Amino acid sequence: MASARVSGAVVRRLPSYYRYLTTLERQGVQRISSQELGARMGLTASQIRQDINCFGTLGQQGYGYNVAELKNYIGGILGLDRSYSLIIAGAGNIGRAVAAYPGFLQSGVHVKALFDVDAALFGQSVGGAEIRPLQEMPAFIQKTRCQIGVVAVPAPEAQSVADLMVGAGIRAIWNFAPVDLAVPEAIALGNVHLTDSLLVLLYGLKEKEGD
Amino acid sequence: MASARVSGAVVRRLPSYYRYLTTLERQGVQRISSQELGARMGLTASQIRQDINCFGTLGQQGYGYNVAELKNYIGGILGLDRSYSLIIAGAGNIGRAVAAYPGFLQSGVHVKALFDVDAALFGQSVGGAEIRPLQEMPAFIQKTRCQIGVVAVPAPEAQSVADLMVGAGIRAIWNFAPVDLAVPEAIALGNVHLTDSLLVLLYGLKEKEGD
């Protein structure tokens, strides 16, 4: 049932649903109407109903949604009912921030190792994972059947590191370098372009100031 | 002329245009057709033409776009012809990663200081900016007329830190904590929800594997 195909725009909203529903569940809320959920999320009630209708019939007219049920259902669509291993190339600030990120715990993602070229870092540990020589990365990916590779190296190295990962059998790349990587069609690719986010913020700032 | 209003969807693509055009300019490319630019960016030529038409007439039929001119024009819309000061609350991994981020240089953004509650960090410097006591943050914002505040503190502290920033006169908040902040309408807000990005990647991984 969690294999429903949903459109790209809905998929991009799913993490936000998941986040709000997790907070509601923690607060002890058991049911929520599309109006209330919409108000919290900054969406209209009809948008909420439309999105959730994509997954099948999870709410009853006049009764709202069961928070735990909807959360678990969305978690299933997102693949949170599985576990994943992840390695990080680059043990600088961004690689360390990712390794220590508390959000992994509830996502079933386990950080297995960081890799770097700086020998002074080898053997150090970040968030419970060890920093190892970059040249050991391909064998490590093969041995551990690790699915997710984080690219947190400087931009000029990013593509070659991604190529190494793909060659070793990685299935998904989470890219933090400010470049657009080329990966085979079969590989999932997610980008966190901090500069893009900053530029949209600067635009927002300019607009708010009435320029 | 750079004050053209463009739709939210186009705004979210602008940083990507800016990034590709910057790379092209560095590579010495002077003109580019909508076909070629689209192929590089993974958009159709007609999408490119539609987006760029929003800004006015910058291309000539059959001649393509002048790379430098288009880049500067988009930079102007994004507000990159100005300079900004930024402070960071939270000098952990994420705060440090932001402070040391090389992408600021070309955006006209200057990191003025980091603030933390950990006295052991006071006086240390990251990316040229000093770590100071969090309690000094409001006075520092007022004194320096700093416009942008980065929230890189743990989730439970994020809203109160944002409130302090807004009270002291910050105009834009760049939030890295995994919570949705409430800020007044007049304040620009940008969120980097790493968990959201990870969840979309996990969904992509599941889809690629044919679930």
Judged by CB atoms within 8 Å, which residues 18-47 of A form the interface with B? 18-20
Query: Which of B82, B186, B205 shows the shortest C-beta gap to A79?
Result: B205
B193 touches chain A (CB under 8 A): yes
Q: The whole model's pTM is what?
A: 0.79
Please report the residues numbered 75 through 134 in chain B whose beta carbons come closer than 8 angstroms to any beta carbon of chain A.
77-80, 82, 84, 92-94, 96-98, 100-104, 107, 109
- What is the model's pLDDT at position B114? 98
Distance separating alpha carbons of residues A126 and A100, to the nearest angstrom: 6
Residues 6 or more apart whose CB falls under 8 angstroms from that of A13 comprise A43, A51
Asked if residue B77 lies in contact with residue B4, where contact means CB atoms within 8 angstroms, the answer is yes
Residue B22 half-sphere exposure toward CB, CA atoms < 13 A: 16
> Which segment of A18-32, A146-160, B46-60 scores lowest on mean pLDDT?
B46-60
At residue B127, the pLDDT reads 84
Cβ contact (<8 Å) for A103 and B195?
yes
Phi, psi of A106 (to 5 degrees): -85, -5
User: What is the share, in percent, of chain B residues with pLDDT greater than 70?
Assistant: 92
Beta partners for residue B155, in sequence order: none
Q: Are B76 and B26 in contact (CB under 8 A)?
A: no
The pLDDT of residue A207? 84
Using a CB-CB cut-off of 8 Å, the residues of chain B touching A203 are 11, 14, 77-79
B residues 129-188 closer than 8 Å to A (CB): 147-148, 171-172, 174, 178, 180, 186-188
ipTM exceeding the 0.90 mark: no
Please state, for a pLDDT cut of 90, what percent of chain B lies above it: 46
CATH 1.20.120.1200 for domain B8-77, yes or no, is no
Domain spans of chain B, in order of start: 8-77, 84-196
pLDDT tens, residue by residue, A54-68 = 776 666 666 788 999
What's the farthest any 2 CA atoms get from each other in chain A? 62
Q: Which residue intervals of A27-147 are DSSP H helices? A: 34-41, 45-53, 67-78, 93-99, 137-144
Interface membership of A189 toward B (CB under 8 Å): yes
d(CA A142, CA A41): 41
Chain A residue with Cα closest to B3: A211
Paired tokens of B124: 């240390």
What does the pLDDT read at residue A203?
Answer: 87
The predicted pLDDT at position A3 comes to 43
Which CATH number applies to B84-196: 3.90.45.10, 3.40.50.720, 1.20.120.50, 3.30.420.40?
3.40.50.720
Residue A41 has pLDDT above 80, yes or no: yes
Asked whether the beta carbons of residue B16 and residue A196 sit closer than 8 angstroms, the reply is: yes
The residues, any chain, with a CB within 8 Å of residue A130's CB and separated by 6 or more, are: A113, A114, A123, A124
Average model confidence (pLDDT) for chain A? 88
pLDDT at res. B113: 97
Q: How many angstroms separate the CA atoms of B89 and A23, rounded?
A: 23
* pLDDT recorded at residue A143: 96
